[in-house]
Amino acid sequence: MAGHRVCAFAVAACVATSAPAASAQRRTDPPEPPPNVLAPPRLPAPLVLPELAHPRTDLALTWTVGRGSTNLGARPDVSLAFVRGQMEGSILGYRRLYAGITWDYAAALAPDSGVNDDTTPLARSGRHSALGNIEPHVRAVFPLTQGLLFGFVLGGMLPTSSIDRNGPMPSAMVAAASMEPTDYAHFLPGHFAVRPAGDLRLVRGPFVFQARQGLDILIDEAGIERARTAGRILLHAGVAPSRTFEASIEASQIYFFFTEDPPDPPDPSLPADERAAVQRRNSALERYRISDDRRTAYTVGPSFRLSFPNVDMGVGLVTNLFSPLSPSLDSFIALRMSVVAHFR
């Protein structure tokens, strides 16, 4: 009888001492996926798209710096810079629902004197920079079979940018956004936007394909411009011989579903100097007007990425196909770098 009591006491002591350790382990370790639920593997984060199945919270910074060749004689080339900051974390379930935020920053020399003012002389200096509109989002991902995921994302852009509608600032922002045309909406001053999109990732052996297709519904808070819609596509195709390295090609496209009416001609009754000023402004407006022959812009470039337990790093090149987003640029070439920190 005494032996049974000793055994019972020993078992109780083992349970009591192991319970705090198990509780501490549950607090520090990432949650295990429920049984019979597919857990998609995490891959190195793309440079232009999120890693769809990261388990906890990611903080990403992407830098793009380049030089654009202009079609203007007064300034043959301009420097361009673009920084995207993103944070996204899992908020429900195991790699199923995420919430995050994106905030862009751009800096560039204006290729011309501005969208609404074509009278300001060009200067060799005078870089213009600004934070773009902030965009919170929610995203859901659904694993299907092994190696196949799809998902949806809904972003809501807020008019937080400090970009002046007049002068050279808009042309500088459009020039910088030419390197990331699918973020064009972030540099529209005074605009709200609803940004739904669909995601797809397919992994077959070492081959990885990921795509996002979305819409931008753009609303001017001041009512100066009518509501407009644009489509965007981001593509990633690569070869990953291991979970730590991938070589890939990334491409993006923005397509404007709308066209803008040409500016009204100057009133013939105006004095000659005022008519000339209106004509100069109209010339600048016409250059940036979304017309039938200026509805889309493409970028493409190679990239390489490394993945470690707590950080991913990537580097790549990007250039334009056909005409860039900015009508004042003939072409551009840029270096893109990315760092993604994983917090578990």
pLDDT tens per residue, range 122-161 = 655 568 899 999 999 999 999 888 889 999 999 999 999 9
Mean pLDDT of 154-183: 92
Whole-number percent of the chain with pLDDT over 90: 54
What is each CA distance from 114 to 18, 103, 122, 157, 287, in whole angstroms? 69, 24, 10, 24, 10
Dist CA 212 CA 19 (whole Å): 45
129 near 104, Cβ under 8 Å? no
DSSP code at position 117: -
Q: What does the pLDDT read at residue 10?
A: 46
Alpha helices, H only, 88-221? 169-177
Rounded to two decimals, the pTM is 0.83
* Tens-place pLDDT, residues 289-302: 898 889 999 999 99
Residue 13 parent element (H or E) = helix 2-28
Q: What does the pLDDT read at residue 283?
A: 81
* Tens-place pLDDT, residues 266-277: 888 888 888 887
Q: What does the pLDDT read at residue 98?
A: 94
Tokens of 234: 């981001």
Q: Which of 141-145, 175-179, 185-189, 228-232 comes out lowest in average pLDDT?
A: 141-145
Q: What does the pLDDT read at residue 263?
A: 86
